[in-house]
């Protein structure tokens, strides 16, 4: 449990109400109860401030008049960021592993730092280096000569291939595969000839990688992920991709080989990005978009088709099929007008 006075000090917030009030969990405004703290980050939910049963709320100063009687408040500049910090302080997620389980298989040449925790049936190969405080969940496999930075945590059944480098304070969720072969083949008379993928994957510090996401090793050079990059579940990052610091990538997005993504980019869910192109710093790509060329200027880009009623979709699809016919008719009319203007005659109003 944390007192509001303690939280206010850490968040540089103003307490309105009882500074000695204690909270032990976070909750939504609608479902909050005694001992919980909630937040208002979107004004359309302001009506719930007068109804909430939370012990305290995180709000901006402008929302203070709407808080229910008897509910304490922490006034902050950004309630959502403050909520994220408090959620970390009150986090009750269990440790991924405790101690070193006897069923773990650890090569004698591996270097295991202090305070590492290794779960059941983990396999640690030759030459691996685990820095201090690393946690490995059950069934995780760390390939030959891989390196895991201090404080990084890997949930159950993560696979890290040989020579991969993971930075410090990273969180990798179950089923992620990092360092598998990139999709590299040459075609010889109709037969596919595999190209060995001799690069690796290098991931920076403070990154999070979602469940069942795959990051392929480089073909010759390395696949690189910068610092503080967050990648959602079921994403695919192909060989030789470079992702800049602080970029976010939502679920099921895919990046093809040798593409360079800048810093502070936001890639929406289901986005597909072609290979061998560049995405500038600060680019935002909305969900289900298909990027087929380089995006060289900061901004928001979209190409996804939003859902519509079936009747509207069928009507629009039918009209889309007529675009070529309409184009040819307009082109013909333009040619006729051009011919008329050359003859010095006005077009007939009788047509």
Q: What is the pLDDT of residue 45?
A: 93
Would you state the pLDDT for residue 214?
Answer: 98
- With 70 as the cut, is the pLDDT of residue 350 above it? no
- Say what percent of the chain tops pLDDT 70: 97
Q: Taking residues 288-315, what's their average pLDDT?
A: 95
Residue 305, pLDDT score:
82
Residue the block writes with tokens 């593409």: 259
Mean pLDDT calculated for residue range 57-66: 96
As given in the structure block, the two tokens for residue 119 are 């779960």
The catalytic residues are 239
Whole-angstrom distance, CA of residue 245 vs CA of residue 268: 17
Which tens digit of pLDDT belongs to each residue from 3-31?
A: 999 999 999 999 999 999 999 999 999 99
Q: Taking 80 as the threshold, does the pLDDT of residue 156 lie above it?
A: yes
In this prediction, residues 278-286 reach a mean pLDDT of: 98
d(CA 200, CA 19): 52
With cut-offs at 50, 70 and 90, classify the pLDDT of residue 144: very high
Neighbouring-strand partners of residue 191? 188
CATH T-level fold of 105-301: UDP N-Acetylglucosamine Acyltransferase; domain 1 (2.160.10)
Say which DSSP state 336 is in: H
Average pLDDT over residues 290-303: 97
Give yes or no for residue 130 having a pLDDT over 60: yes
- The whole-number average pLDDT for the span 282-288 is 98
- Which DSSP string corresponds to 297-323? SSSEE--------HHHHHHHHHHHTTH
Indicate the pLDDT class of residue 348, thresholds 50, 70 and 90: low
What are the structural domain ranges in the chain? 2-89, 105-301, 311-343
Residue with tokens 């405080």: 133
The Cα–Cα gap between 184 and 218 comes to: 10
Q: Identify the bridge partners of residue 237 per DSSP, sorted by sequence position.
A: 215, 255
287 DSSP assignment: T
In this predicted model, what pLDDT tens digit does every residue of 170-212 receive, in sequence order?
Answer: 999 999 999 999 999 999 999 999 999 999 999 999 999 999 9
pLDDT digits 0-9 by tens, 76-128: 999 999 999 999 999 999 999 999 999 999 999 999 999 999 999 999 999 99
Q: Which of 72-76, 85-89, 334-338 has the lowest mean pLDDT?
A: 334-338
Question: Tokens standing for 166?
Answer: 């993971």
**What span, in angstroms and rounded, lies between the C-alpha atoms of 27 and 38?**
5
Q: pLDDT confidence of 347, banded at 50, 70, 90?
A: low
Q: How many H helices and E strands in the chain?
A: 4, 38
Distance, CA of 133 to CA of 178 (rounded, Å) = 20
Q: According to the model, what pLDDT value does residue 97 have?
A: 97
Cα 302 off chain centre by: 18
The per-residue pLDDT of the chain, averaged, comes to: 95
Domain 2-89 grouped into CATH 1.20.1090.10 = no
pLDDT at 349 over 70: no
* Dihedral (Cα; 100, 103, 109, 113), 10-degree rounding: -10
């Amino acid at each position: 449990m944390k007192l509001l006075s303690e939280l206010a000090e850490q968040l540089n917030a103003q307490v309105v109400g009882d500074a000695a009030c204690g909270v032990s969990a976070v909750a939504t405004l609608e479902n909050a109860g005694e001992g919980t703290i909630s937040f208002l980050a979107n004004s359309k939910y302001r009506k719930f401030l007068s109804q909430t049963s939370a012990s305290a709320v995180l709000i901006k100063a402008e929302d203070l008049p709407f808080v229910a009687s008897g509910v304490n408040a922490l006034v902050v500049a950004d309630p959502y960021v403050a909520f994220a910090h408090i959620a970390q302080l009150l986090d009750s997620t269990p440790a991924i592993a405790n101690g070193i389980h006897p069923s773990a298989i650890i090569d004698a040449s591996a270097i295991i730092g202090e305070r590492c925790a290794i779960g059941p049936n983990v396999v640690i190969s030759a030459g691996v280096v685990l820095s201090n405080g690393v946690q490995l969940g059950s069934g995780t496999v760390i390939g030959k000569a891989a390196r895991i930075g201090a404080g990084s945590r890997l949930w159950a059944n993560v696979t890290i291939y040989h020579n991969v480098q993971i930075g410090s304070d990273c969180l990798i969720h179950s089923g992620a595969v990092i360092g598998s072969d990139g999709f590299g083949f040459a075609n010889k008379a109709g037969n596919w000839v595999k190209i060995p993928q001799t690069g690796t994957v290098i991931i920076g510090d403070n990154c999070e990688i979602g469940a069942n996401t795959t990051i392929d090793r480089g073909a010759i050079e390395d696949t690189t992920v910068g610092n503080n990059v967050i990648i959602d579940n079921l994403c695919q990052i192909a060989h030789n991709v470079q992702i800049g610091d602080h970029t976010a990538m939502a679920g099921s997005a895919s990046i093809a080989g040798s593409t360079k993504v800048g810093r502070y980019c936001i890639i929406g869910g289901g986005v597909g990005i072609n290979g061998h192109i560049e995405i500038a710093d600060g680019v935002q790509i909305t969900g289900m978009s298909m990027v087929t060329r380089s995006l060289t200027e900061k901004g928001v880009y979209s190409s996804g088709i939003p859902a519509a009623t079936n009747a509207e979709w069928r009507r629009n699809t039918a009209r889309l099929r007529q675009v070529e016919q309409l184009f040819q008719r307009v082109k013909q009319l333009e040619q006729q007008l051009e011919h008329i203007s050359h003859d010095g005659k006005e077009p007939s109003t009788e047509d």
